[in-house]
Structure 1
Amino acid sequence: MFIYINGEIVSKEQAAISPFDHGFLYGLGVFETFRIYNGHPFLLDDHLERLNRSLHALMIEKEFNRTETTELLQQLSQVNGWRHSYIRFNVSAGNGEIGLQTAAYEAPNVIVFQKPLQPPDGLLEKKGTWLATRRNSPELNERLKSHHYLNSIAGKREVGDDPSIEGIFLNETGNVAEGVVSNIFWVKERTLYTPAVAAGILNGVTRQYIMHRAREAGMEVKEGLFLPIEVKEADEVFFTNSIQEITAVSQIDGQRFPGKHGAWTNKLFSFYASDREILWSRQQN
């Protein structure tokens, strides 16, 4: 497997960064994960918009655009020989002295990891479970997709290794937050509900796409602070992230839901399936 690192494509065995990278020493770094479908990086513009905003928040002086990023991804995909793949686009602060730095970081390390994926199939299904571990509060005004992953690791350890089960965090005040690696949605009649960013969640790119598409389909979309009982009373529940797409929920701690038979879940998934080899941004719709 080959990866991209600071302008070069090298084998994973050759890849290296300095131990003085402040992404390693202090967790100062952010990343995006997304899929390439048959050569097309789905919603790349939206991922880069969030990445650039996050880099600005961390005072890392780097910005990415579609043209250079697409060229990079095409080169990496060609070397690896993959048309369908997982991408982790990682930017860490770069090298510095030991100690907390207040000045901006001018030479970040850029690493792009790629893994092969099978061509997409139909709607997937998972079970959910409420976690005892609480979602921590964001360290800045809004949660970044950052190197600070201990809270998510704690949640994953609580759930265990079964990939068919997703843990669901409540935040520190007991409101529904998000999955360990996903955002959560539920449907009641023609209304789509999802926790607000103020609940301490990551504002997922797929999350934003789903809300946009749901409104186009005539659904009312409500973001807010919700208690678990409101999920338990739902007609349908599903998770979203950029790798697993839309994943239907068949049950949460034994309480059953329609899962992949849910009407609205299937309708939204059909939009996703028709868009994934075409869209650069949700705003194209």
Structure 2
Amino acid sequence: MTMYIYLNGELLPKEEAKISPFDHGFLYGMGLFETIRTYGGKPFLLEEHIERLQAGMQEMNIAMTLTVEKAGKIIAALCEKNQLPHSSVRLNISAGEGAMGPQTETFHHPAIFAFQRPVVPSFEMKEKEAVLLQLRRNTPETGFRLKSHHYFNNIAAKREVGSDPAKEGIFLTKEGYVAEGVASNIFWVKAGTLFTPALDTGILNGVTRMFLLKRAQAMQIPVQEGLFRLKELLSADEIFLTNSIQEIAPVHLIGGKCFPGRNGEITKQLYEDYRSWTGQTAFL
């Protein structure tokens, strides 16, 4: 079956989709992306993804406004064309062509492209083993971390962990504070309080992270964001990871110490609440 990609207003077979070798997204990493989960053809938390993407474009001096409505139409067209209602959509903005050398002027003609892969709906949290990385989390290029094409720190960390999808590497900052996973944010529970590293650590403000913080507050679960040492993480009662595709992934092992994984009480509460918002219960 041919897989179609959206590129600058067209749906093309993936073999025909091309960008210029002079695109600064390719030459200098001047590009951004969002990975969006669709459930039954509907993108989840699309407004939050596009808001973060727009903030990144402003930071990179890319002059384009992508509305939630337009992004929704792109994703709907892909879901229909590829017959993939349950999917992961990667939406990219690449700065566009420019002269050789770093460009200080505004990019006025960015490329926009999106592609999919299938995701089978799951109704049970998939546990992870968390692996403490020797490699430290790099600092953001500017005042806050962008979800950008500057991704080698994550790739090098993934090489350290290996290709096993049941393992996730956990970064510490150079100062030794708990940061985030290779492709996830990290949370833990201690004595009924939910903890997660603050944005001051230089982590990505994940869309699922933001959503869960709001939901925890609505559910009257106490929340603390801050700078935490490894010993505080390892003394937790429950640990879990979050991202848009894996949703909530409970940790059952880290640093040789076992944790309750999917049996964690607050982890289960947040997962059931999350499922209700995605509409997954309709698939049961």
Shared topology, TM-score over 0.5?
yes
Question: What is the alpha-carbon distance in structure 1 between the residues aligned to residue 35 and residue 279 of structure 2?
Answer: 16
Question: What is the alpha-carbon distance in structure 2 between the residues aligned to residue 71 and residue 26 of structure 1?
Answer: 29
Give how far 1:254 is off. Answer: 1.5
Tell me the alpha carbon deviations over residues 237-272 of structure 1, each in whole angstroms, 9 at most, x when there is no partner.
000000000000001021011000000000000011
Tell me the alpha carbon deviations over residues 54-104 of structure 1, each in whole angstroms, 9 at most, x when there is no partner.
100000011211211111111111110111010000001000111111000
Query: Does the aligned pair in 1 maintain the 2:42–2:76 contact within 8 Å?
Result: no
1:2 and 2:10 aligned: no
Which one of 117, 121, 124 corresponds to residue 122 of structure 1? 124
Secondary structure of 2:217 counterpart: helix
Question: What is the alpha-carbon distance in structure 1 between the residues aligned to residue 31 and residue 73 of structure 2?
Answer: 23
Which one of 236, 240, 243 corresponds to residue 242 of structure 2? 240
Give how far 1:120 is off. Answer: 2.9
Query: Does the aligned pair in 1 maintain the 2:86–2:121 contact within 8 Å?
Result: yes
Give how far 1:277 is off. Answer: 3.4
Query: Does the aligned pair in 2 maintain the 1:194–1:222 contact within 8 Å?
Result: yes
Which one of 211, 214, 217 corresponds to residue 216 of structure 2? 214
Give how far 1:18 is off. Answer: 0.5
Which one of 110, 113, 125 corresponds to residue 112 of structure 2? 110
| Pairing of 1:66-215 with structure 2 (within 5 A) | 66-215=68-217
Secondary structure of 1:124 counterpart: coil
Instruction: Provide the residue aligned with 2:37 in structure 1.
Output: 35
Question: What is the alpha-carbon distance in structure 1 between the residues aligned to residue 43 and residue 122 of structure 2?
Answer: 14
Instruction: Provide the residue aligned with 1:230 in structure 2.
Output: 232
Tell me the alpha carbon deviations over residues 142-195 of structure 1, each in whole angstroms, 9 at most, x when there is no partner.
000000001001100000011101000001111000000000000011211000
Instruction: Provide the residue aligned with 2:56 in structure 1.
Output: 54
1:63 and 2:65 aligned: yes
Number of aligned residue pairs: give it: 278
User: Percent of aligned pairs with the same residue?
Assistant: 50
Instruction: Provide the residue aligned with 1:257 in structure 2.
Output: 259
Query: Does the aligned pair in 1 maintain the 2:5–2:13 contact within 8 Å?
Result: yes
TM-score, normalised to structure 2's length? 0.96
1:66–1:101: structure 2 CA closer, same or farther, 3 Å change rule? same
Structure 2: runs of 5+ lacking an equivalent? none
Structure 1: runs of 5+ lacking an equivalent? 279-285
Q: Which amino acid aligns with 1:113?
A: F
Query: Does the aligned pair in 2 maintain the 1:240–1:246 contact within 8 Å?
Result: yes
Question: What is the alpha-carbon distance in structure 1 between the residues aligned to residue 34 and residue 44 of structure 2?
Answer: 12
Question: What is the alpha-carbon distance in structure 2 between the residues aligned to residue 68 and residue 138 of structure 1?
Answer: 29
In the TM superposition, structure 1's runs of 4+ consecutive aligned residues that sit over 2 Å from their partners are: none
Query: Does the aligned pair in 1 maintain the 2:129–2:251 contact within 8 Å?
Result: yes
Query: Does the aligned pair in 1 maintain the 2:78–2:115 contact within 8 Å?
Result: no
TM-score, normalised to structure 1's length? 0.96
